[in-house]
Amino acid sequence: MDKLLEAHLKKHGIEYKEHRHKAVFTVAESKSIKQRIPGLHCKTLFLKDNAEVFYLVGMPAEKRFDSKRFREHFKIRKIRFGSEKELKEKINLVPGSVSIFGAIYIKDKGVKLIIDGKVWNDDNVGFHPNINTSTLELTHKNLERFYNSLNCEKEIVEL
């Protein structure tokens, strides 16, 4: 696990269960490992709008991203994936390891953490800990602790 993330979770009393597994880069690849990990299987997207605002979006793995609804909610014209370079610059991550936990690296007002309402309302969720060789299982209480520990723009949205 990312050492800065581990320190952040400990500092804020955020409990989790870590499930180690082979590296996975896509939702399709992760289906086989998900069968052994309790909770809602989640994914995270790193997106950028036409005004150079970035979004770190945590949502159920099987849910299709509705770009129209997203654009309407945030009143933006266009949305696309951020580049590998932007991902590294903005949240210190690499493709395949994108996670809501990357929010600990947000240093400027140009990146917002967005968590889907289904993820927020679930009792138990799983996200990569900024690496794709394990999954952290969190209860809602601990997801809420993580969310509240962050000093960045954030929002719970029904996607």
pLDDT, tens only, 58-81? 999 999 999 999 999 999 999 999
Q: Work out the burial of residue 153: count CB atoms within 10 Å of its CB; fewer than 13 is exposed, 13-18 middle, 19 or more buried.
A: middle
At residue 41, the pLDDT reads 92
Residue 24 has pLDDT above 70, yes or no: yes
> Radius of gyration of the chain from Cα atoms?
15
Record the pTM.
Answer: 0.92
Structure token digits, residue 102: 């990357």
pLDDT over 90 (residue 102): yes
Residue 46, C-beta contacts closer than 8 angstroms, at least 6 positions apart: 54, 55, 56, 57, 81, 82, 86, 87, 90, 91, 93, 98, 102
The answer on pLDDT for 25 being more than 90 is no
Q: Contact at 8 Å (CB) between 49 and 78?
A: yes
CATH code of the domain occupying 3-157: 3.90.960.10
User: Lowest-confidence range among 13-17, 102-106, 129-133?
Assistant: 129-133
Average pLDDT, the chain: 93
